[in-house]
Structure 1
Amino acid sequence: MATRTAPAPTPVTTSTSTPSLLSAIRSSILQLRTLRSTWVYLILLTGALYGPVVLEVLLNASDDRSVAWGTLTIGYGIFQLILLIQAAGNTAGNIQSGMAAHAFATQRRRWHWVAGQAIVMSIWGVLSYLLGLGLAIAVVQLYPDAYLSLVGVRPLLAQLFGAASYPVIAVGLAALVRNRVAAIGICVVWIAVIESLIANAARNFPFFATVRKFCPGTQLMALVNGRQMDGSATNNLASIAVVVGWAIVFMAAGLIANQRKDVV
């Protein structure tokens, strides 16, 4: 009597999704959407752009009611500062609250969460800028006798570039210092104090005039205006390289610190 041999059991393979940079980006998006502070920051970011335009239109008593780029984006400096505070605060907050430790346990590489945070905050900066600028344009269009007088797109492109690159610098800085107060404090002091002091000192001291050429805020404004503070024409590639260089240096430093330091 022939015996039947039972077929060998088929190995069961489990399909596991490999954690990747995309999952880190999705996680950062989810976090940004669910934080209540996100909507507070959005109000502040957009208000920094359209709020000054409202005041300018209402208080302008001259016969010329035209609104140029300089007036339309008069609050861009405040926008930059708020964006830096948000990017640095969120990133350092993740480290101090232990969220980064969860990322280490669920993502394949340590650098994923930092890179994902930088990408999401960069996109957030661009979208917030466009929304605020759109509201500023709407204010001008709705107000009687006021009209837009926009020449060229240099200010728009330069400020979009700043809105995308500054959050990367802030995220890298926060990952490096790993403290919310320190990260925010450095951003505020640099934007509000240090670059202004360097610019003032550059008028009398050649050394500081050289240092000013490597300041990200100075070079970003040179891209916006098409000229340096000394009146010379802007070298677009050189100015872009300075800002990108700062972003690369701080992101590299933040990634190295994130890789080597403990999660607590």
Structure 2
Amino acid sequence: MLKLITGETVKLFSLRSTWIYLILSAAAMFAAALLIMWSWGRDEPVTVPRLFTGGDLSMIIVVFAAAMMAAADLPRGTVAWSYLSSNRRTGMLAAQVPLIVIAVTAAVSLGVGLAVPVIYALGGSVDFTMGGGTTETVVSYYVQWVVFATLAALLAVILRSGAFAAMIVIAEIFVVEAMLGAIGIDALRPVLDLLPLANIRVLSAGEFADVTHGRLTAAVILAVTVAVFAAGAALIVRRRAVR
């Protein structure tokens, strides 16, 4: 397994596109934090939740980056070299997806981290007090990044297209779940109960909108969702032609 991880690491980070996606992910959080400082005013300290206000914008970039990195060598057919070098295709997938998720999550974290000293350099300050929902906000964004980056990467493998995978996941987050949460139709509540973002918010805050179950059930639903996508990706990878 160590050889697979090493090989996937070299393959992933030897691509220029990987670094472009990671830089964009970090830049989105960095820029959003600075904009918040300017809008908040330099006389008032920027709170930690406001530092993470760019998390929603970053979600689009994180999903797109994860999907495109996972599908980087699929359309070109260069994945054939990986398949010919090892018969452990499922192991390759198991190494690739976590690496992508860790990379994009680290990138957005770096964006926030770099923004802090710049805020101080520009005459502002940051209030690092962890209270009043601060912890829940930070946890929510990290769980969102991890879950949706994982789903985007797995879906890209299934569809053999990073662009299609990213569009589907982004639409699910910002269109489907937003609409179901807003319209409040009783017949559609069971659907909202099963969707990822609603359960992430239940997991981080303990409750969300009309979702009736608690954190444990939300965690189980998220785990099952990821497992289903992972099983589908593994099945397709094992049957995919070497070309």
Q: Taking structure 2 as the reference length, what is the TM-score of the superposition?
A: 0.86
Matched-pair identity in %: 23
| Residue 43 (structure 1) aligned with residue 15 (structure 2) | no
Q: Are 2:64 and 2:162, in contact at CA under 8 Å, matched by a contact in 1?
A: no
Letter in 1 for 2:234: L
- CA distance in 1 between partners of 2:154 and 2:147 (Å): 11
Q: Following superposition of structure 1 onto structure 2, how do residues 225-240 of structure 1 map, counting pairs within 5 Å?
A: 225-230=205-210, 235-240=214-219
Corresponding residue of 1:105 = 84
**C-alpha contact (below 8 Å) 1:155/1:223 kept by paired residues:** no
Query: Is residue 2:194 matched to residue 1:249?
Result: no
The answer for the alignment partner of 2:139 in structure 1 is 157
Deviation readout 1:213-235 (Å, 9 max, x if unpaired): 21112222344444312498x83
Corresponding residue of 1:147: 126
Task: Work out the number of aligned pairs and report it.
Answer: 240
- One-letter amino acid matched to 1:188: I
Q: Name the CA shift for 1:231/1:183 in 2 (closer, same or farther; >3 Å).
A: closer
Q: Could you tell me which residue of structure 2 aligns to residue 260 of structure 1?
A: 239
In structure 2, relative to structure 1, the CA distance for the partners of 1:50 and 1:224 (3 Å cut) is farther
Provide the residue aligned with 2:182 in structure 1: 200
For the aligned residue pairs, the C-alpha RMSD in angstroms reads: 2.5
Aligned to 1:74: 53
Summarize the Cα distance change of 1:165–1:141 in structure 2 as closer, same or farther, 3 Å threshold.
same
> Which one of the candidate residues 133, 145, 166 is aligned to 2:148?
166
Structure with greater helix share of residues: 2
- Are residue 185 (structure 1) and residue 167 (structure 2) matched? yes
Q: How big is each residue's C-alpha offset from its partner over 1:88-120, in whole Å with a ceiling of 9 and x where there is no partner?
A: 112223222123211211113221221111121
Amino acid at match of 2:200: L
Range with bigger deviation, 71-80 or 85-94: 85-94
Tell me, which stretches of 5 or more residues in structure 2 are unaligned? none
The 1:139/1:225 distance shift into structure 2, 3 A limit, reads farther
Q: TM-score, normalised by structure 1?
A: 0.80
Partner-residue secondary structure (3-state), 1:45: helix
- Alignment partner, residue 127 of structure 1: 106
